[in-house]
Structure 1
Amino acid sequence: MLDIKWIRDNPDKLDKALETRGAPAMAMDLIKLDERRRDHLKVLQDLQNRRNEASKEIGKAKGSGDAARADALIEEVGSIKAEIQDGEETERRIDAELEDALARIPNVPLDDVPIGADEADNVEVRKVGEPPRFDFAAKEHFDLGEALGMMEFEQAAKISGARFTILKGQLARLERALGQFMLDLHTGEHGYQETVVPLLVRDEALFGTGQLPKFAEDLFHTSEGRWLIPTAEVTLTNLVRETTLDAADLPIRVTALTPCFRSEAGAAGRDQRGMLRQHQFYKVELVSVTDEDGSIAELDRMTACAEEVLKRLGLAYRVVALCTGDMGFGARKTFDIEVWLPGQGMYREISSCSVCGDFQARRMNARYKVAGEKAQRFVHTLNGSGVALGRALIAVMENYQNADGSITVPEALRPYMGGIETIAVA
């Protein structure tokens, strides 16, 4: 959430930022709503001042024996009290209206973010590794998995509908191995603390990270009023909600391996076959909480941590800086990591690392204090995939496929596979 004071001081900057995101100008509407709130607060303050003055005058009138004057003042105080009560209700409505309007505005991109409308305007930062060359026609993951008898889509659809997958045998173990490998890497070498978090959350948690109120259709909601998390970013970031941290304790780095649940409401017609775009998938999430000076460097660090997963797996990838029109709602800057998929003959996203500044912290009321300073500051938050297990599984299957349809297990995963070197039909 943006600071209304900053908006009042920088209306042109906000509207320009919204324009780069393909959103309409909103600064003046927000300022007018804030002026309405301020004017109403002035009226309430004047009423409260008059009530206090009248209350004092009642005592004087009674003391001088002027009963009529005292009665009139008592009636006035009662009338003012009713006006204040009505005014306070109006204040709550205006506050809610302003908060809702602010909650729907995306974050302001950093100055070095490429300006563009969609993914076609993203900018490649670097390529790492060489895509494999086969002397046979590369297959996509679903053809490989089904031929192995370890990946089922039809039975999953009978049970749960479209965009679900059943993994069996060594492919199921391979996905589990990927998750354990990533957790060990991030906790053992990258300094993240492994965390087990709830998968069901309240409205406030999703508001804090920016999924609510604007993106409710992308989420799964339970009949008891809770939501299934679309990413562990939600619970990991909310670990600091409504807290005040010491600057000396920052940065905080946490990670979790969880299922994620997404309705994919905006993805109709895309990647309908296979397990590239699922309603349920596993992901290792990385979250950092920093002070306001350290967040940009932390983005580079986090991205490097996610890249290391692909380097250890021997997968070719590229890093892309997202343009203003393709960035997520809460991000100020985002790097996507795209892995090479031989079956598709193209790079596809496998990780997205973003810095949000104090955007989420304002929604969560998460602050920190610097020794010797009276004023508290909002923390800065970052999140990234470290990485998505389903897409990593796809990448390993397609990059390590053999002519006979078997899959070679990358060396980094063999300790987690009980020494199995090749996945093949039994």
Structure 2
Amino acid sequence: MLDIELIRKDRASVEAGLSKRLDPSEVSRALSSIAELDKRRRELIGEIDAERARRKEEARAFAAAKAAGQAIETTRDAKAALQALEDQLAQAQRDLDTAMSELPNLPADDVVAGGKEANEVVRVFGEVPKIENLRDHVQLATDLGLVDFERGTKLGGSGSWIYTGWGARLEWALINWFIDRHFQAGYQFMLPPHLLLDSAGYAAGQFPKFYDEVFHIAVGEGERGRFLLPTSETAILGAFQNEIFDTADLPHRVYAYTPCYRDERAGSHSDERGTVRGNQFNKVEIFQFTTPEDGEKTLEEMVDYAESMVLDLGLHFRRSLLAAKDASASMRKTLDIEVWMPSMDKYKEISSVSWAGDYQARRAGIRYRVPGSKNNRFVHTLNGSALATSRLVPAILEQFQQPDGSVLVPEVLRDKVGTDRITKPAKRR
């Protein structure tokens, strides 16, 4: 959520920033509506203060008259008048909060306007591999017995699969390698629940705008809404709602492994076959809570760190700075790590590392104590995929495929996988 004080004091800069990711006329209408709601809320506060002062004056007059033996008649119900104003204020605050919650974050100054077409390639790592007898990852996974797409669809419908044999070993080796790396890097390991309260979705900035893009759970009357997490970013942030850090404890680094559940039924993704896009996939997420002064520096550190793992795997990839409309609405700045997919002749995102500023912290009520000050400040939050395996496995299969149809296992994973090369399994008699 944005700071209402910023809108009051510098509406022009807010309007210019939001216009990078929304239609300018839409931004103008939204900010005008917020200004009116904010004005009405402040007017009601003034009316309530005046009513309370009036009640005090009436009480003093009544006490003085009673002491003098005089009678004072009044036809005004002061208590009811105050209650009516307080009810109006509560509604005005709810209306303002709703309008504010629908605004996206302000993009950082170096984030350009536009969608995917305006994304900027910042750096390319390695060379495009030359591959003989190119096979796509679906063919490789099927021929080598790594993924069972047919039985996956039987179990979960379209967008589902089952890792099998060496494929399951490769998937699990990646997850465990990530877990070990993050632990050694000083992140705190967390295994959160997959079923979250709607309040966590709101805190992360995914609700209300993207409410229909997750899987919701039916609940009984009077129970709080719940949904399956789309990323463990939502769970990590939600776990710290309404908490206050000591400055000495920042940055606070956390990571989590979870499956991620997303409704991918809408939209057209004709080139994203196999495990490139599905309703459930595995991911390890890193997350940091920092001071505002360290926010952008921490973003660069997290991107470098995530890239170091892709480099260690030996893959060809690139870094891209996302334009405002292509980044998540709750993020100030996002850098994508995109791995080369030979069969698609394009790069696909395997990690998004993002800096939210204080946008999520305001929604979640997460602050830190400032030494020498009575006022607590909002932290800055950052998150990054480190990494998503459903696209990493296809990239490994395609970039490390051999002319004989086998696939080399990245050297850093060989101990965990249990082999240096995956070959076609022998047929059972």
What is the TM-score of this pair, normalised by structure 2? 0.94
Deviation at 1:271, TM superposition (A): 4.2
Q: Would the aligned equivalents of 2:128 and 2:340 in 1 still touch at CA under 8 Å?
A: yes
- Do residues 135 (structure 1) and 132 (structure 2) align? yes
Paired letter, 1:42 = G
- Do residues 162 (structure 1) and 166 (structure 2) align? no
Name the CA distance, whole Å, in 2 between partners of 1:389 and 1:371.
Answer: 42
Say which is worse superposed, 26-35 or 357-366, in terms of deviation. Answer: 26-35
Aligned pairs for 1:24-423 (under 5 A) are 24-25=26-27, 26-67=30-71, 69=72, 72-73=73-74, 75-76=75-76, 79-113=77-111, 115-136=112-133, 138-188=134-184, 190-224=185-219, 225-264=225-264, 266-271=266-271, 273-423=273-423
Q: Would the aligned equivalents of 2:149 and 2:274 in 1 still touch at CA under 8 Å?
A: yes
**1:245 counterpart SS class:** strand
Structure-2 change in CA distance of 1:381 and 1:265 (3 Å): farther
Deviation at 1:272, TM superposition (A): 5.3
Per-residue deviation, residues 361-392 of structure 1 (Å, max 9, x unmatched): 10011111122222211100001100101111
**1:256 counterpart SS class:** strand
Deviation at 1:265, TM superposition (A): 5.5
Deviation at 1:406, TM superposition (A): 1.9
Name the CA distance, whole Å, in 2 between partners of 1:62 and 1:110.
Answer: 64
Q: Would the aligned equivalents of 1:340 and 1:347 in 2 still touch at CA under 8 Å?
A: yes
Deviation at 1:266, TM superposition (A): 4.8
Q: Would the aligned equivalents of 2:115 and 2:326 in 1 still touch at CA under 8 Å?
A: yes
Counterpart of 1:425?
425
Paired letter, 1:287 = F
Name the CA distance, whole Å, in 2 between partners of 1:11 and 1:266.
Answer: 36
Count of residue correspondences: 417
Name the CA distance, whole Å, in 1 between partners of 2:372 and 2:270.
Answer: 54
Deviation at 1:108, TM superposition (A): 0.5
Q: Would the aligned equivalents of 2:145 and 2:167 in 1 still touch at CA under 8 Å?
A: no
Name the CA distance, whole Å, in 2 between partners of 1:378 and 1:201.
Answer: 23
Identity %: 38
Q: Would the aligned equivalents of 1:406 and 1:425 in 2 still touch at CA under 8 Å?
A: no
Please identify runs of 4+ aligned residues in structure 1 that moved more than 6 A. none
Deviation at 1:340, TM superposition (A): 0.7
Per-residue deviation, residues 145-195 of structure 1 (Å, max 9, x unmatched): 12223322232222221111111111011101010111111221x221211
Q: Would the aligned equivalents of 2:145 and 2:166 in 1 still touch at CA under 8 Å?
A: no
Name the CA distance, whole Å, in 2 between partners of 1:379 and 1:120.
Answer: 32
Structure-2 change in CA distance of 1:423 and 1:116 (3 Å): farther
Say which is worse superposed, 258-267 or 283-292, in terms of deviation. Answer: 258-267
Structure-2 change in CA distance of 1:82 and 1:271 (3 Å): farther
Structure-2 change in CA distance of 1:268 and 1:91 (3 Å): farther
Counterpart of 1:8?
8
Q: Would the aligned equivalents of 1:148 and 1:425 in 2 still touch at CA under 8 Å?
A: yes
Q: Would the aligned equivalents of 1:209 and 1:234 in 2 still touch at CA under 8 Å?
A: yes
Name the CA distance, whole Å, in 1 between partners of 2:269 and 2:292.
Answer: 41
Say which is worse superposed, 89-98 or 18-27, in terms of deviation. Answer: 18-27
**1:294 counterpart SS class:** helix
Name the CA distance, whole Å, in 1 between partners of 2:300 and 2:270.
Answer: 30
Name the CA distance, whole Å, in 2 between partners of 1:144 and 1:9.
Answer: 58
Paired letter, 2:46 = K
Per-residue deviation, residues 113-145 of structure 1 (Å, max 9, x unmatched): 1x2321111011000011211122x22211111
Q: Would the aligned equivalents of 2:6 and 2:14 in 1 still touch at CA under 8 Å?
A: no
Q: Would the aligned equivalents of 2:18 and 2:107 in 1 still touch at CA under 8 Å?
A: no
Name the CA distance, whole Å, in 1 between partners of 2:271 and 2:161.
Answer: 13
Q: Would the aligned equivalents of 2:145 and 2:424 in 1 still touch at CA under 8 Å?
A: no
Q: Would the aligned equivalents of 1:232 and 1:258 in 2 still touch at CA under 8 Å?
A: yes
Per-residue deviation, residues 317-367 of structure 1 (Å, max 9, x unmatched): 000001112111111111001001112121111100010110001001111
Name the CA distance, whole Å, in 2 between partners of 1:36 and 1:266.
Answer: 40
Paired letter, 2:377 = R
Name the CA distance, whole Å, in 1 between partners of 2:153 and 2:21.
Answer: 37
Counterpart of 2:222?
none
Q: Would the aligned equivalents of 1:312 and 1:412 in 2 still touch at CA under 8 Å?
A: yes
Name the CA distance, whole Å, in 1 between partners of 2:272 and 2:343.
Answer: 15
Q: Would the aligned equivalents of 2:406 and 2:421 in 1 still touch at CA under 8 Å?
A: no
Per-residue deviation, residues 395-425 of structure 1 (Å, max 9, x unmatched): 1111111223221111111111124532432
Paired letter, 1:128 = F
Q: Would the aligned equivalents of 1:367 and 1:378 in 2 still touch at CA under 8 Å?
A: yes
Paired letter, 2:217 = T
Q: Would the aligned equivalents of 2:405 and 2:423 in 1 still touch at CA under 8 Å?
A: no
